[in-house]
C-alpha cells in the first residue's frame, strides 16, 4: 500500500508553508500537536495512535476513521505493532492523541470502575479469516464479570468443534479489553493464555469479579 511513512509525513509538515501570522511551534509537545493537526488538515493521516496508562503499565491505542484498530497491551512491543499497522492498514500513521481521545477516555473509565461496556466502533482489518471474525463478534456478547470456555465461544461462532481455532482467534484479537478475549478460559477452569500475559488476564478477571 502506497503513501508516506510517519517520518515522511513529519518531514513534509515541518517544511509546509504556514498561514500568515502563524507562529512556529518550538517545544516538543507543541510540535507533536502541531504535526498531528497539520496531518489531519492535509489529509495525510489514516491511523492515529497515543499511549494509555493502565494499572499494569503503558498501553498504546490506535484508531482509524472506521474505529478502534489496535490496543497494544503493556507487554507488547509498540514498534512492531505500529509497523504491522503501517504494513497492513496504512503507512500514513502518526501519534495524534486528540484523535484517540474517545477510545482512551472509555478505557480510562473502564479501569476506574465507571464503565462495564464499551461504545466504540471497531476496525478489524488486522484480523484475517471469517471464522476468526465470528469468534470476535461472539466475544462482544460476553458481559462484564462473565466467562466462557473456548468450546462455548466456538459454538457461539457457529462451530462447536473448532475450539482450537477459536483459541487461535482469541489470541489474534487486535483490540483486547474492548473485545474481551480475557473472558475466555479453559474448560477445566484454568485461565489459559493471554496476549497481555497471565498476570494481566488474572488482574482483569479479578477486577471484573469473574474469579
Average pLDDT over the chain, rounded to an integer: 87
What is the tens place of the pLDDT at every residue in 126-173? 999 999 999 999 999 999 999 999 999 999 999 999 999 999 999 999
Q: Where in the chain is the domain with CATH 1.10.10.10?
A: 130-207
At residue 165, φ and ψ (nearest 5 deg) are -65, -35
Instruction: Calculate mean pLDDT across residues 192-208.
Output: 94
CATH of domain 130-207: 1.10.10.10
Beta strand residue intervals within the chain, DSSP E: 47-54, 57-63, 68-72, 93-95, 148-149, 184-185
Which residue, among 191, 147, 174, has the nearest Cα to 73 in the 3D structure?
Answer: 174
| Distance, CA of 4 to CA of 86 (rounded, Å) | 10
Instruction: Give the separation between CA 139 and CA 154, rounded to whole angstroms.
Output: 10
Distance between CA 146 and CA 70 in Å, rounded?
23
Active-site residue (options: 45, 181, 200, 204)? 181
pTM here is 0.81
Nearest-CA neighbor of 47 among 119, 105, 99? 99
Alpha-carbon distance of 79 to 70, in angstroms, equals: 13
| Closest listed residue to residue 85, CA positions, set 110, 103, 108, 60 | 60
- pLDDT tens for 18-36 read 444 455 455 445 545 555 5
Catalytic residue list contains 181: yes
Amino acid at each position: 500500500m502506497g503513501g508516506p511513512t510517519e517520518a515522511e509525513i513529519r518531514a513534509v509538515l515541518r517544511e509546509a508553508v504556514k498561514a500568515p501570522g502563524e507562529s512556529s511551534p518550538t517545544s516538543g509537545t507543541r510540535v507533536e500537536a502541531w504535526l498531528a493537526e497539520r496531518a489531519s488538515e492535509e489529509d495525510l493521516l489514516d491511523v492515529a495512535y497515543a499511549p494509555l496508562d493502565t494499572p499494569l503499565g503503558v498501553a498504546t491505542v490506535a484508531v482509524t476513521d472506521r474505529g478502534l484498530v489496535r490496543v497494544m497491551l503493556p507487554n507488547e512491543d509498540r514498534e512492531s505493532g505500529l509497523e504491522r499497522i503501517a504494513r497492513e492498514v496504512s503507512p500514513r500513521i502518526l501519534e495524534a492523541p486528540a484523535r484517540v481521545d474517545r477510545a482512551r477516555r472509555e478505557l480510562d473509565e473502564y479501569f476506574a470502575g465507571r464503565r462495564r461496556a464499551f461504545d466504540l466502533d471497531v476496525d478489524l482489518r488486522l484480523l484475517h479469516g471469517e471464522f476468526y471474525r465470528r469468534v470476535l463478534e461472539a466475544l462482544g456478547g460476553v458481559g462484564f464479570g462473565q466467562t466462557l470456555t473456548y468450546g462455548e465461544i466456538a459454538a457461539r461462532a457457529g462451530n462447536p468443534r473448532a475450539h482450537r481455532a477459536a483459541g487461535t482467534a482469541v489470541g489474534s484479537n487486535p483490540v483486547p479489553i474492548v473485545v474481551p478475549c480475557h473472558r475466555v478460559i479453559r474448560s477445566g477452569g484454568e485461565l489459559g493464555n493471554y496476549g497481555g500475559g497471565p498476570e494481566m488476564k488474572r488482574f482483569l478477571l479479578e477486577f471484573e469479579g469473574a474469579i
